[in-house]
Amino acid sequence: MNSPCETCAFGNQGAAKEEMNALTSMLCGFGAIPFYCHHGRDNVEYDWQRDPLGPLRLHPSNRKVCAGWQDQVRMLKGHGFFPNRDYVVIRRAVARRGLALLGRMLLPDIGRVKQRLASRDLKRCLKFLAERDITNEGIPL
């Protein structure tokens, strides 16, 4: 059996290899949006794939922020992605928009045109978040 870190969405195996997890973890990491571990503090894995509330179903004392996410944000901060509080606020807003667009793209009856528009806007969000210095970047909101 794998330990929680071996199945982390921020790792290089297991959940990290699934497209949705890779995009979601990228948005949460570059957007500094806390990402909860899919294991509780008691190390029991909750049904994060079929339960839209995920970690919110766990008792607050049993929730934990993903160690992989913490490492990712710490590394990004060390590389100058979060130089001040204003940058974090802007990045979080863009990342939340990206998460909403990702969810929209996955709607079963969205239609091709709306899906393409959501995909285009999501790419803009990802491009923005991947920039270290967003001072002169247009905010894709």
135 within domain boundaries: no
**Which among 35, 33, 41 is positioned nearest to 63, based on CA atoms?**
41
Residue numbers of the domain that contains 68: 4-130
Pairwise CA distance, residues 59 & 6, whole Å: 24
pLDDT greater than 70 at residue 3: no
138 within domain boundaries: no
Tokens 């997890």 correspond to what residue? 21
- 12-44 pLDDT per residue, tens: 776 667 778 889 989 999 999 998 888 888 888
Structure tokens at 110: 């969205």
Look at the pTM and tell me if it is higher than 0.75. Answer: yes
37 within domain boundaries: yes
Alpha carbon distances (Å) from 53 to 36, 42, 110: 11, 18, 23
Pairwise CA distance, residues 24 & 28, whole Å: 6
Domain total in the chain: 1
78 within domain boundaries: yes
Q: What are the residues whose beta carbons fall under 8 Å from the beta carbon of 125, sequence distance 6 or more?
A: 27, 94, 95, 97, 98, 101, 140
E strand map for the chain: none
- 41-68 pLDDT per residue, tens: 888 887 777 776 777 788 889 988 888 8
